[in-house]
A and B are shown apart, each in its own frame.
Chain A
Amino acid sequence: MSGDVGASPDEAIGVGQVAQAARDVVEGAFPRLWVRGEVMGLKQYPSGHWYFTLKDAEGALSCVVWSAKAKRRTIPAAPDEGMEIAALGRLTVYPAKGQLQFSVEALEAAGEGLWRKQFEEARRRLEADCLLDPARKRSLPRVPRTVAVVTSAQGAAVRDVIAVARRRAPQVQLVVVNCLVQGDDAPASLVAALDRVARWGGADVVIVGRGGGSKDDLWAFNDEGVARAVAACPVPIISAVGHETDVSLTDLVADLRAPTPSAAAEAAVPVWTDLEADVRAHAQALRRALAQKAARARQRFAATTRQVQLAAQRVVERRRARLEAAGGRLEALSPLATLGRGYAVAQATDGTALTSAKAFRDGLDFSLVLRDGRVRATARDVIVTPATGTP
């Protein structure tokens, strides 16, 4: 611009031209800078652009945020009316209105207030969708065959998980699903990776996380979209964002929150030798129980058998006593008992007793039955004593 331009009515210049000149001067004079003040009259348009005024006792500044949604990493949430914030941006002039304007790239409130606000808002929305319900929490499988690890293939987290899992159970298969865990593209990358795991369907457990880092490094795990992808995981999922103190959104929706990736691996992968010992102990207990049962049954059988034997023996003994008594009575009545005293009985060959001399004829064969045997004999000189009347 020459010195003469604008020096007289004849040399007057157009408004747009001067406004654009002013913009060049302003943009050239101020570097990117942080400006502090209170937020007034915030307006959020469907286009994604925000307008508000930053004020303090001495002045005011019109601010604009272009495509606020795309700046979630630096502008986590909309500030409240009257909130004291610091805004990072460039000072410019909006030629169409001839207005000084501050184009904001980042917002920070005292005590991470905007982050807390974003977190709380997202938490409330997740809660409204019942994604924080404790009843949703699934228990991990005792022995997983395959564990998917959703994290950066270059990070410390994946190394820790692999080391812990190999030490505990080399039999458990690990599948690393590589994705970005920090930076502007991390949320979309995490969501895509979780989606891939879900569609694949081959994992029994999923670990999603990363190693420790600054608040800024971990912000992707506070992304509502990532939290919803974690909540949608079809198999039990462990959130392991490397920090002990703060809870991330993914921690809230996961089935288990592990303080570190190593702890997640310990939760997901059992110690194989412990499992083997457990199985052996169970097998042993089973065998012992079986042996005890068999021993008890054998004892009972033996006792019963003994009782039956005793009962049978008593029956036999009672009968033997009865038989012996009957046998004794029979013996006492034996017609042969008399023979013991020296008498004999004459028996015909057909066994009938010959009790009268009249039953004999000369030459008759008969037997003499004595105490200790019998004698065959033949009759001779049969002499019948005549009856002499009753004695």
Chain B
Amino acid sequence: MTFEQSLDRLDAIVGQLQRDDVPLDEALRLFEEGVGRVREAAQALTRAETQ
């Protein structure tokens, strides 16, 4: 997944979490995925910086 795709996915996750009707376990799953995406994107940025 590219950096841009990670960010887009992150935005989508944030949008879903903002909705009230998300079940808690779904929210937890989304949140965990979001954290994973943030880590991925941060790593991509670090790689770009060191190049």
Task: Spell out A's residues near B (CB within 8 Å).
Answer: 312-313, 315-316, 319-320, 322-323, 326-327, 329-330, 333-336, 345, 347, 351-353, 355
Contact = CB atoms under 8 A, between A and B. Distances in A.
16 contacts: A312-B49, A313-B49, A316-B49, A319-B3, A320-B42, A322-B7, A323-B7, A323-B42, A323-B45, A326-B7, A326-B11, A330-B38, A333-B31, A335-B17, A335-B28, A353-B23
Contact of A320 (B14, B25, B45): B45
A203 B34 CA distance: 93
A333 B23 CA distance: 13
A333 B27 CA distance: 9
B4 to A, nearest CB: 9
Given A316-B48, A320-B45, A333-B31, A326 B14 contact: yes
Contacts of A322: 7
Interface in B23-41: 23-25, 27-29, 31, 34-35, 38, 41
Contacts of B24: 335, 345, 353, 355
Contact of B45 (A319, A336, A347): A319
Contacts of A313: 49
A286 to B, nearest CB: 39
Contact of A345 (B7, B10, B28, B41): B28
For chain B, the bracket of interface size reads 20 to 34
B7 A335 contact: no
Which 8 A-B pairs have CB atoms at the shortest separation, nearest pair first?
Answer: A353-B25, A333-B17, A335-B27, A353-B24, A330-B34, A326-B10, A327-B38, A352-B25
A347 to B, nearest CB: 8
B13 to A, nearest CB: 7
Nearest to A353: B25
Given A316-B49, A323-B38, A353-B23, A330 B29 contact: no
A352 to B, nearest CB: 5
A345 B23 CA distance: 13
A316 B51 CA distance: 11
Given A327-B38, A335-B17, 20 more contacts: A312-B49, A316-B45, A316-B48, A319-B45, A320-B42, A320-B45, A323-B10, A323-B38, A323-B41, A326-B7, A326-B10, A326-B11, A329-B14, A330-B14, A335-B24, A345-B24, A345-B28, A347-B28, A353-B25, A355-B24
Contacts of B38: 323, 326-327, 330
B24 to A, nearest CB: 4
Given A327-B38, A345-B24, A336 B31 contact: yes
A355 B23 CA distance: 10
B35 A330 contact: yes
Contacts of A316: 45, 48-49
Contacts of B41: 319, 323
A313 B29 CA distance: 33
Given A326-B14, A327-B38, A330-B14, A335 B48 contact: no
Nearest to B39: A327
A353 B28 contact: yes
Contacts of B28: 335-336, 345, 347, 351, 353
Contact of A335 (B11, B14, B31): B31
A351 B23 CA distance: 13
A37 B34 CA distance: 135
Contacts of B13: 330
A312 B48 contact: yes
Of B25, B34, B45, most A-chain CB atoms within 10 Å: B25
A201 B17 CA distance: 102
Contacts of A333: 14, 17-18, 31
Contacts of A351: 25, 28-29
